[in-house]
Structure 1
């Protein structure tokens, strides 16, 4: 299965594209350094600059790797579910999705319970990040069948969680 245009639109909205490497704004130590559409890796360090073509190519490579792993975990996913799960795994890593209650509930057939689990993943280094609150609300909405435009609107209206 491949991520639809709806899923990519949501991912691009929340990742945005930066052509100069930057430290993770939500982590205490700034790691991992990121570039392009949320690309991380050992080659991403302070001072790295990419072209738009490099950023787009890395996004496609990273997306394909994420799609492959999500398809193995959720082979019967609907397109909307798949898109939301790919966005989640792209942002947090497939290992986080694999070991999550979200995936355990999903694989057990509890899609409602799984949808609610998206909202629990709004922290980095223990602190609630408003950007993650918005993204998780949007992913939950996409998972439940909303279009990307509606999901993004719901996400962007999400209030900061009170910890």
Structure 2
């Protein structure tokens, strides 16, 4: 995840316009105290670990297909970035649950826009996630 998410110890707005801190942690309504303070590296690590655990739960709640470790890693990165609601309603998940993993891999490449704008960073991220999902060497991309 750290490959894609830069560390920010003070609050900022991500490209989607969400209040964020740490390694891409979206600040929830009950966490508004983060808006007034700088966090520590240790805090950022704790938030990231909690976010990954939450995303992992979402993955296994909705995905009923058998996944290898590469597929899990790619999907956790995808869900972390796009959000659980987007994942739950995605064709990517539908393809996974139909055990159409090659078709599911191609769905990563469709998630490259924020507010209607194509972002180079998302294009690269989705290419890497897809390569990881397929068990390919990501240094070739």
- TM normalised by structure 2 equals 0.89
Asked if 2 retains the 8 angstrom alpha-carbon contact of 1:21 and 1:49, the reply is: yes
- CA separation of 1:152 and 1:97: change in aligned 2, threshold 3 A: farther
Kindly report structure 1 stretches of 4+ aligned residues shifted beyond 6 Å. Answer: none
Asked if 2 retains the 8 angstrom alpha-carbon contact of 1:74 and 1:82, the reply is: no
Asked if 2 retains the 8 angstrom alpha-carbon contact of 1:74 and 1:107, the reply is: yes
Matched, 1:60 2:46: no
1:74 shift after superposition: 2.5
Q: Distance in 1 between matches of 2:114 and 2:140?
A: 23
Q: Give the aligned CA root-mean-square deviation in angstroms.
A: 1.6
Matched, 1:34 2:20: yes
Q: Which of 3, 26, 29 pairs up with 1:13?
A: 3
Q: Which of 94, 98, 103 pairs up with 2:93?
A: 103
- CA separation of 1:77 and 1:53: change in aligned 2, threshold 3 A: same
Q: Which 5+ residue runs of structure 2 have no aligned equivalent?
A: none
2:134 matched residue in structure 1: 144
1:49 shift after superposition: 1.3
Q: Distance in 2 between matches of 1:144 and 1:79?
A: 11
1:51 matched residue in structure 2: 40
Q: Which 5+ residue runs of structure 1 have no aligned equivalent?
A: 1-10, 155-163
Q: Distance in 1 between matches of 2:110 and 2:4?
A: 17
Q: Distance in 2 between matches of 1:86 and 1:151?
A: 16
What CA deviation, in whole Å up to 9, does each residue of 1:33-60 have, x standing for no partner? 1111110123356554110000000111
- CA separation of 1:17 and 1:80: change in aligned 2, threshold 3 A: same
Give the length in aligned residue pairs: 137
Q: Distance in 1 between matches of 2:71 and 2:120?
A: 23
